[in-house]
Amino acid sequence: MTTSMKLPFGTITITDTAKRLITASLESGRVSCGTLVRDFEDRFASLLGVNEAVAVSSGTDADILALAVLHDLGASRSDEVIVPALSFVATGNAVVHAGFKPVFVDIERDTLNIDPTAIEAAITEKTRAIMPVHLMGKPAEMDTINAIAKRHGLLVVEDAAEAHGALYKGRPAGTLADLAAFSTYVAHIITTGEGGVITTNSEQFGEILRSLRSHGRNCTCKHCIMNTNELTYCAKRFRGKGGEDVRFTFDRIGYSCKMNELEAAIGIGALEIYDSILKKRHDNLIHVLERFDRFSPWLSTFREEPQEQIGPHAIPIIINEGAPFSRTQLTQHLEKNGIETRTLFASMPTQCPGFEYLGYKSGQFPVAEYVGKNGIHVGVHQDLGIEEMDYLLCCINSFCNDNY
């Protein structure tokens, strides 16, 4: 095996533009949600070609607010949202925090995404939305999901947390449903350090989202100047009964999850180099995927299909049935050789104790449960290259050949 390398799972690129904007923001004394956040939102919306992008403090908050829009559409707090059984736990948590009950559906082994053939059996009279996850940046089968939703009058929200750069039949993730929720956490392609973004083409939803992120306040103007140095009078603010300031009237139960200016500055810098980051990560991902069959039948991963482009978040690896080693053994080998790993999440309803109250039993989600016990993922970020990807392949190969 070649000389040992270090392959950390994630990275963050903070550009000179970001540093300049951060310094200017600090010097201005205005660091709460303001002009930089709006600039970041406008750039994010333009990148995807959507009408609205609303920045929030995390990808989880993006999921929560996208679902909380349902309350304005008449949903009740006992209603249900269908989600895949396997995802980062934030997906299930968001449904609960938005005031709904998560209803879980098993996944497909080859895509790691929700099994669209199992969705309709989970729909009840209380179902209000379907939230598919583009896990590891691989697009879910959105045409089928949207058709099901249309038949049953349901909202569709993409959990696109890991799907920056993903394409489904030529269309980017974030444009494939009624709303979409992205994470801009440090390990993601477009990062703000911490943060998230909700995208939609609905002006109505955009106004609701801006209200929700700020306590449910009435003031939802897209270009509100309340957090800038400008002191220009705004007549819209004083449109309430008796002329009161509508920033202090509240139309709905809301949250406090605005993105701040410093985070937005990092995001603006990331968007300036988005294309180069995306290409580097996608090249890394495809290099490994095209060479992964050598580990069959013991290990497997997903594939990039002709109708899609995977958003290159990470490389999933599943230890298959019959392999003469465990996930722990493979993980320890990789970690000892400088390759940082993450488990491939868990079956939320049956492997995450927080959801025990829902009454699901082990065995109800066999595919998700298997992947939750036997899956890992490793990084493909822009600070790595083909040499590091070859080192990863070499480490896995030596593990398989030298020990089993």
Q: Point out the residues that are catalytic.
A: 188
401: left (phi over 0), alpha (psi -120 to 50) or beta: alpha
Pairwise CA distance, residues 42 & 397, whole Å: 45
Q: With CA atoms as reference, report the closest residue to 313 among 278, 288, 341.
A: 278
Residue 158, φ and ψ in degrees, nearest 5 = -75, 125
Alpha-carbon gap, residue 217 to 186, rounded angstroms: 29
Contact 258, 214 (CB under 8 A): yes
* 257-261-262 Cα angle (round to 5): 105
Rounded to whole angstroms, the Cα distance separating 291 from 109 reads 19
Q: Do the strands 52-56 and 196-200 form a parallel or antiparallel pair, or are they unpaired?
A: antiparallel
Paired tokens of 206? 């955009």
Q: Are strands 80-84 and 101-105 parallel, antiparallel or unpaired?
A: parallel
Do residues 198 and 62 lie in contact, with contact meaning Cβ atoms separated by under 8 Å?
Answer: yes
Among 145, 79, 65, 89, residue whose Cα is nearest residue 354: 89
Please list, in sequence order, all residues whose beta carbon lies within 8 angstroms of the beta carbon of residue 196, skipping any fewer than 6 positions away. Answer: 55, 56, 57, 58, 59, 60, 61, 62, 63, 161, 181, 182, 183, 184, 185, 259
Q: Pick from 97, 95, 93, 113: which is nearest to 105 by CA? A: 113
